[in-house]
Amino acid sequence: MTETKPRYKINVIKTRCKGCTYCVELCPRKVLEMSKDFNERGYHYPYAKYPEKCVNCKICEYTCPDFAIFVTENKD
């Protein structure tokens, strides 16, 4: 069984994130989770725990009040 790479990449601008968790709570596929690490402002930020589940709905992108997250096609 070969592992397929995720079709989309979830990009997080860690320094912009204020840890509101909207993206994590509203993701219909439960792709995101909050990191245990802190950004330079002292907030936990999201990361893609299950990137292979992303369908590019961009709800995370649309709901982020700080424009700290966006989705792109994975060209790697």
| All structural domains of the chain | 8-73 (3.30.70.20)
- Segment-wise mean pLDDT, segments of 10 residues, the chain, 76 residues: 81 97 98 97 97 96 97 88
pLDDT of residue 69: 98
Which residues partner with 33 through β-bridges? 47
Asked if residues 69 and 19 have their Cβ atoms less than 8 Å apart, the reply is no
Q: Tell me how far apart the alpha carbons of residues 57 and 51 are, in angstroms, rounded to a whole number.
A: 13
Q: Mapping DSSP to helix (H, G, I), strand (E, B) and coil, where does residue 48 land?
A: strand
Q: Tell me how far apart the alpha carbons of residues 52 and 4 are, in angstroms, rounded to a whole number.
A: 8
Query: Within 10 Å of residue 28's Cβ, how many Cβ atoms?
Result: 9
Q: What is the pTM of this model?
A: 0.88
